[in-house]
Amino acid sequence: MTTDGDSRISQFRKGVVELAIFALLHRGEAYGVEIVDALSGHPGLAISAGTVYPLLSRLKKAGMIDSSWQESPVGPPRKYYRLTPAGDREFADMVAAWDGVTGAMENLLAKESGR
């Protein structure tokens, strides 16, 4: 694959990862490493902590998520993240947009490939 192709895939994944983080937090609160590990369980979504934490910070500044420190049974306290009411609304909007895009792409790809 070309460098341009790698760049396009990287940009595509960045948008999808944000939706994936919203989906994880929609299920319930989670701490940073837990989010990284959950994404790593899906090879197309695996990203480093160095990418996740700045994204979490940006979402917090935007009012989409909130955080709190909680004691850990196995070490230092952990910062847990959860969706705010604004984050819940944004997640619903993102899911609707995702459904529209994926439905259109599935239709287009089926027509193009003869599926």
Task: Say how far apart CA 33 and CA 66 lie, in whole Å.
Answer: 16
The whole-number pLDDT of residue 48 equals 87
φ/ψ of 100, rounded to 5, equals: -65, -45
Measuring CA to CA, which residue among 35, 18, 48, 19 is closest to residue 81?
A: 35
Q: Report which DSSP code applies to 43.
A: G
The whole-number pLDDT of residue 2 equals 54
Partners of residue 69 on adjacent β-strands: 79
CATH number of 3-110: 1.10.10.10
The whole-number pLDDT of residue 63 equals 98
Q: What pLDDT, in 10s, does the model give residues 56-108?
A: 999 999 999 999 999 998 899 999 999 999 999 999 999 999 999 999 999 99
- Contact criterion met (CB below 8 Å) for 53 and 32: yes
Average pLDDT, the chain: 90
pLDDT band at 3 (very low <50, low <70, confident <90, very high): low
Task: Say how far apart CA 24 and CA 15 lie, in whole Å.
Answer: 15
φ/ψ of 70, rounded to 5, equals: -135, 145
The whole-number pLDDT of residue 33 equals 94
pLDDT band at 20 (very low <50, low <70, confident <90, very high): very high
